[in-house]
Amino acid sequence: MAGPVLEMRSIVKTFPGVKALSDVTLTVRQGEVHAICGENGAGKSTLMKVLSGVHPHGSYEGDVLFEGETCRFKDIRASEQHGIVIIHQELALVPYLSIAENIFLGNEQATRGVISWNETLRRATELMRRVGLHEHPQTRVADIGVGKQQLVEIAKALSKKVKLLVLDEPTAALNDEDSAKLLELILELKSQGMTSIIISHKLNEIRTVADSVTILRDGRTIETLDVKNGETTEDRIISGMIGRDLDHRFPERTPHRAEAGAAPALEIRDWTVHHPIDQQRKVVDGVSINVRRGEIVGIAGLMGAGRTELAMSVFGRTYGRYAGGTVLKDGREIRTKTVPEAVAHGIAYVTEDRKHYGLNLDDTIGRNISLSGLGKVARRGVVDEHEERMVAERFRESMNIKTPNVAERVGKLSGGNQQKVVLSKWIFVGPDVLFLDEPTRGIDVGAKFEIYTVIDKLAAEGKAVLFISSELPELLGMCDRIYTMAAGRLTGEFSRAEAAQDVLMRQMTKDKEVTR
């Protein structure tokens, strides 16, 4: 068995009011893929920031040994000089520069201060070929998809003569096809002798590529498992992550039964939307759906099916060009041309992209929660800061948002806690209908269960919930009914009893309108 290339011993990292890491130990062997699992807030990213020099030596306790040498990294450049390169979940690429320029940004191929573009393009082409990227090296990063952008980041890491590659949630924003390609690349790099650390919430992916799995919980190392000897069952990993067996992934739920003759809380009829740039292309094509009070209705579809486009266009027409269709609330037609109109009619939309559209990461938790309902905490146009703080504190307790206080900047929270703030922000408004777009994307199983419980409680209170998710088990576990979409059109509608993964997938991969 290969010896350790990395040892992190008794790492302690404290922030004001919270101990993020407490006596964490990690050992990574030469040439292996080592996975790190844990709930949001368990300390995974903090540990990697210690390793990479984001948290410099002196700001933490403990020792970092790389290739047998004690390291005291003062910044990222110092760790990269040793061959440790980290690729964060939020990609650090400049969209309007070319692929080649991004690969060598900060590491330019230059002689006496003059960049050699021929050498830049030649080396970029070699690196791109190594990671399976076949675009021209002068293609703008803005003109390629997220999956290919992830490959650019890996090519950029390889250009720095990486010895230890750290990938933080590398497939979180990728579809299944791009995720599979990326995992294949990680295994290919392993065959070439590369050592990798992968942080992921997707347990099936971890079991596919990892040789070892270290589980963190509450800033502590729980255990390290060897994949080869069969220790890494999904149940064992989950039990280690959350500190208990999770017999049920979803709250117990009694399927909703609509009252006879009751109109749907929300009904969308023959809704059609064109692409914002290519206005000949329909991104939502004649879709008709409905949801009743107390009901959770799922919308399933592959990437590009039109699910998010449907939700955003109904919620204040925030996507595309409206081409036709009506929205009815409790049987009466309503106007939702703007976001204030939609909110006034009791409709809320929890976006799939919480960091860009759901939150102001530089502002406090309290202000983020009150943002959509400022009128409820204002007196004569002036926000009552005491009332705002009290509202936020109530949500902190009821939603179990892990933070010392609501004056903390929301950008400091883990992904799961950020998602709870987004939900709090819209629950505070008091909506009747909620569009939840990928509400558990990028968060761990423990936080997912908490959010599922919140959603189930909202439905029990009589809210109507439209639940968009790319995870079919999630839809099957949570929803009373499920619609399927493909290429902007509705292709199926199934009750809880009728729905199954293979049934849904058949409907998600075809392109014809449902007739029921």
Stronger pLDDT, 251 or 6, i.e. the higher one: 6
Extended beta strands in 173-301, E state: 195-199, 212-217, 220-226, 266-274, 282-291, 296-300
Encoded tokens for 144: 């390629």
User: Which candidate, 302, 298, 308, places its Cα nearest to that of 499?
Assistant: 298
Tell me the C-alpha distance between 184 and 169, whole Å. 15
Encode pLDDT of 322-381 as tens digits: 999 999 999 999 999 999 999 999 999 998 888 778 888 899 998 999 888 888 888 888
pLDDT tier, 208 (very low <50, low <70, confident <90, very high otherwise): confident
Answer yes or no: is pLDDT of 168 > 80.
yes
Encode pLDDT of 254-274 as tens digits: 766 656 567 899 999 999 999
Per-residue pLDDT, 324: 94
Answer yes or no: is pLDDT of 34 > 90.
yes
Q: What is the pTM of this model?
A: 0.64
Angle between helices 445-460 and 234-242 (to 10 degrees): 80
Whether the CB-CB separation of 375 and 412 falls below 8 Å is answered with no
Encode pLDDT of 409-425 as tens digits: 888 887 788 888 999 99
Encode pLDDT of 47-82 as tens digits: 999 999 999 999 999 999 999 999 999 999 999 999
Answer yes or no: is pLDDT of 512 > 60.
no
Percent of the chain at pLDDT above 90? 48
- Report, as an integer, the average pLDDT of 456-474: 91
- Report, as an integer, the average pLDDT of 403-411: 87
pLDDT tier, 2 (very low <50, low <70, confident <90, very high otherwise): confident
Answer yes or no: is pLDDT of 513 > 70.
no
Q: What sign does the CA torsion over 136, 83, 205, 30 have?
A: positive
Q: Which amino acid is at 282?
A: K
Mean pLDDT, the chain, rounded, equals 87
Going along the chain from its start, the domains and CATH numbers come out as: 4-242 (3.40.50.300), 265-346+431-516 (3.40.50.300), 358-429 (no CATH)
User: Which candidate, 186, 183, 119, places its Cα nearest to that of 158?
Assistant: 186
Encode pLDDT of 210-235 as tens digits: 999 999 988 899 999 998 777 677 77
